[in-house]
Chain A
Amino acid sequence: MSNLAQPPAEVSQRFSLRLRKDGLLPRILLAISLSLAVAAVLILLAQKNPLDAFAAMLAGAFGSPHQIGVALNRTSPYLFAGAGLALCFRAGIINMGSDGQIAMGGIGATATILAWPGTPGAVAAIAALIAAALAGALWAGLATAIHLSRRVHEVLATLLLNFVALLLVQFLLSSALSQPGAGFLQSPLMPRSVWLPRIPAFDFHIGIILAIIVAAFVSFLLWKTSFGFGVRVAGRSRPAAAYAGFSIAAITWQLMLGAGAMAGLGGGVEILGLQHRLIEGFSNGFGFKAVTVALLGALEPALTIPAALFIGFLETGALSMQRQIGVPSSLVTVIEAATILFILAATVRRT
């Protein structure tokens, strides 16, 4: 066959992103300048001084050990869920259910702590994290069962279960897990003994450390094991993966349960490390931040670490700017989104 007329690129390749390696630094710098320019225009439109705003943003993200700690806490659920999604997307499994899986993780952790009061702190915290992972996996498993047995597209199955999970949080907070008389939909505060340990001075909890360990493990799984090889083949061509002796259904189950467990852990860590109680809407939008982390990390589990950190620090800085300068919160969201878009364009390309 002459290569004048190769058939179009591999059609079953559903998701194919790679890091652009050539001239990465200049392009990142350009992306940052462009996003600063866009932000400056928007801030001017809101009749504030862009330089003051940027200074506030920088101080908000990096200004003090405490602010850095805040950003790291913000990062950890994104990283847990995002690293799992990177693996799913690699295999062409479009899991859009992190939001619900994170929420389920929060439920699992809270229910465990409230169910066995008086259990020694460390034991209870570990049991709660395990329960969070199981709850997240359960939710992902439900979507997988629907997807594989009833042939419902995985985007639909995962996406729609998000709403169910969020409503389940509301329901449980007004029944079994509620704090009577609180006036808000929230659970009772957890005893201090089960809170995740914090790093002194910076005051961030160990969630981010766990998340980095998990992301590194996922990277190892992808590149150094035969399972990971199957994932990489499946993402490029389903027929080739079947021919190579991998079962697409088995890969789908393993990745979905794994990603669900990771998202659930993200939810559990958020509750035990930061909120210390289940609150309605505690995970609002986390799932879609996780998708951004996976894409910004070019579907490379190791690269989801800097990607999640970038988003965590960006958000923390932007929120702080909003408080200090008094710009509308919608404006902050637009600036965040524009920045992520510029960085994505500069660093990731389709293959």
Chain B
Amino acid sequence: MAALLEMRGMVKVYGALRANDGIDLDVFAGEIVGLLGENGSGKSTLMKVLFGMVEADGGGIVFRGRELSGHRPGEAMAVGIAMIHQHFMLVEAMTVLENIMLGWPEAGKLLKRQVIAEKIREASRRLGLDLDPETRVADLPLGRRQRVEILKAVLRNAELLILDEPTSNLAPAEVRDLLVVLKRLRSEGKGIIFITHKMPEVIEACDKVVVLRAGKVSGKAVVSGADKAQLAEMMVGRDVTTPYVMKAPEKGAARIGMRQLAAKSIGPLDLDVRGGEILAIAGVDGNGQLELAETLAGLRRADAGTITLDARDITHATPANRTKAGLAYMPADRSMTALVKSMTIMENLMLRDIQRPPYSLRGLLTMGFARRRAEALMSQFDIRAASPLTKAGSLSGGNQQKIVIARELARQPAVLVAHQPTWGLDPGATRFVLERIIALRDAGSAVIYISSELEEVLAIGDRVAVLAGGRLAGLVTRNEVDMPQIGLWMSERAA
């Protein structure tokens, strides 16, 4: 049987970078292909070429027996290729029905609402999508919105669906449902390209995987014959699954302490973290994680209680004074808070230190120092870019986060508050970030590590706490962790 999609020797060059350097990819009808690779390995470029968002510099694409070249996204859609983006392209104020009719010739000039609504109901039943055409998109949870996108693609007769990290914004239950939907689509004979970093999903859903590294195919495997460690190693070329070393809880004084701390939607909280210890805080997103992190960082006002850092009261200190006192903070929001994407790597590396010598003397910038410092940090933290004057936004997600971690750790802080520091990173970059945080702990700092990825919390925390409804539902050392208990804590809601 001929493949649904054949890509042969794809080449795409950006300046000196060969983003795609002779990649072959086949997808058959009724097959889910996992496309893996670190950030910057060329996955996105390959998919943009396939969908016609950028033009290839070499190679050929054959889709359903027809040559595709120099095409645009509109033509790709017309021949049956659909792309489900990470950020949905839906009009929130409109209903599911209206979103699906939008820009679809089959809806007719005089919109055939009833006909299309019936089609939506029928397809929704068949695929188990559970979508009502009259619901407003704004009222749907993220997992359902994604199904609207999938439904849109299916109704427009897409034969090949590209899903770009479809699970990164979903809750665990939604991920399971999505995988079920994908399997149904497979049984209807659709081809699916599934981009992800998450091994369990690959093993659960994919038939085969193609791993990219530095613009080339570095490995191919049939999933039933590969295991998790093998796949991860194929992806980064080194072992990333060895567990992290845990440390027994320290006996020393608390480096950061909270007493009856309360702010909007959190508290009261009582918590101490000692030097040489990582306290990992688990919990379902939206249970006060952001509020806690920002209150500690001084970006939100504490309504009651105190925060102490090395026995100093910092409850009402400004963010700048907290930084000076030794508090480092890695915000979850990388694109708007932790980094200024349109500024250079150098400027981002000094973002939080600019008001202090030696970055500025009596208010005047010392650019020579900043430049040397930036070069040193770039090599120390392996930030890969042409120059310190490269814009931060042009780097891959992993390299962007390395800027943040370099800036925050280079100060040798007493305390680090890290919120979702590995979100969206590939296994290699995740490993890098976690290892740096562990090294900081080993040097005697206290770390508060907040993440909704339970697996990661359990892997890195010396003690594990669960935040639910803005309060601590439970707190145990790592070797006392009892999974069902953690699960119960996570589902607890403060009264």
Interface residues of A (CB under 8 A from B): 1-7, 10-13, 16, 224-230, 232-233, 236-237, 239-240, 242-247, 351
Contact = CB atoms under 8 A, between A and B. Distances in A.
Contacts of B336: 10-12, 237, 239-240
Contacts of B360: 225-226, 229
B133 interface: no
B168 interface: yes
A233 B351 contact: yes
B276 to A, nearest CB: 27
B356 to A, nearest CB: 9
11 contacts: A10-B341, A224-B365, A225-B364, A226-B363, A229-B347, A230-B355, A237-B336, A240-B339, A242-B299, A243-B299, A243-B331
Nearest to B83: A4
A2 B195 contact: yes
Complex A-B, nearest 7 residue pairs according to Cβ-Cβ distance, in ascending order: A245-B320, A1-B424, A5-B86, A226-B360, A1-B397, A4-B44, A239-B337
Given A10-B342, A226-B355, A1 B337 contact: no
B164 A243 contact: no
A10 B39 CA distance: 21
B338 A240 contact: yes
A239 B333 contact: yes
Given A225-B364, A243-B352, 9 more contacts: A2-B165, A2-B397, A3-B397, A6-B335, A10-B336, A225-B360, A226-B359, A237-B340, A240-B339
B458 to A, nearest CB: 23
Interface size class of B (residues with CB under 8 A): 35 or more
A232 B343 contact: yes
Nearest to B85: A5
B234 to A, nearest CB: 18
A229 B335 contact: no
B147 interface: no
Contacts of A245: 318-320, 323, 352, 355
A244 B352 contact: yes
Contacts of A244: 319, 351-352, 354
A117 B206 CA distance: 90
Nearest to B350: A229
Contacts of B331: 243
Interface of B: 39, 43-44, 47-48, 85-87, 164-165, 168, 195, 297, 299, 318-320, 323, 329, 331, 333, 335-343, 347, 351-352, 354-355, 359-360, 363-365, 396-397, 423-425
Interface centre among A225, A228, A237, A247 (most CB of B within 10 A): A237
Contacts of A227: 363
Nearest to A229: B354
Contacts of A239: 299, 333, 336-337
A290 B338 CA distance: 34
A2 B41 CA distance: 10
B318 A1 contact: no
A47 B370 CA distance: 63
A92 B333 CA distance: 21
Contacts of B354: 226, 229-230, 244
A1 B332 CA distance: 13
Contacts of B352: 243-245
A245 B341 CA distance: 18
B355 A243 contact: no
B389 to A, nearest CB: 14
A310 to B, nearest CB: 27
A1 B87 contact: no
Contacts of B323: 245
Contacts of B335: 6-7, 10
A237 B337 contact: yes
A240 B44 contact: no
A218 to B, nearest CB: 15
A349 B333 CA distance: 28
B397 A247 contact: no
B64 to A, nearest CB: 23
A21 to B, nearest CB: 15
Contacts of B168: 1
Contact of A243 (B39, B195, B338): B338
A85 B165 CA distance: 43
B86 A4 contact: yes
Contacts of B43: 2
A11 B333 CA distance: 13
A231 B369 CA distance: 21
B397 A233 contact: no
A225 B363 contact: yes
B252 to A, nearest CB: 29
Contacts of A5: 85-87, 164-165
Given A233-B340, A243-B331, A226 B47 contact: no
A4 B424 contact: no
B340 A1 contact: no
Contacts of A11: 336
A1 B319 contact: no
A4 B85 contact: yes
A228 B363 CA distance: 9
A240 B340 contact: yes
A229 B318 contact: no
B299 A2 contact: no
B351 A240 contact: yes
A242 B341 CA distance: 16
A73 B44 CA distance: 57
A245 B168 CA distance: 30
Contacts of B320: 245-246
A51 to B, nearest CB: 46
A1 B331 CA distance: 16
B86 A1 contact: yes
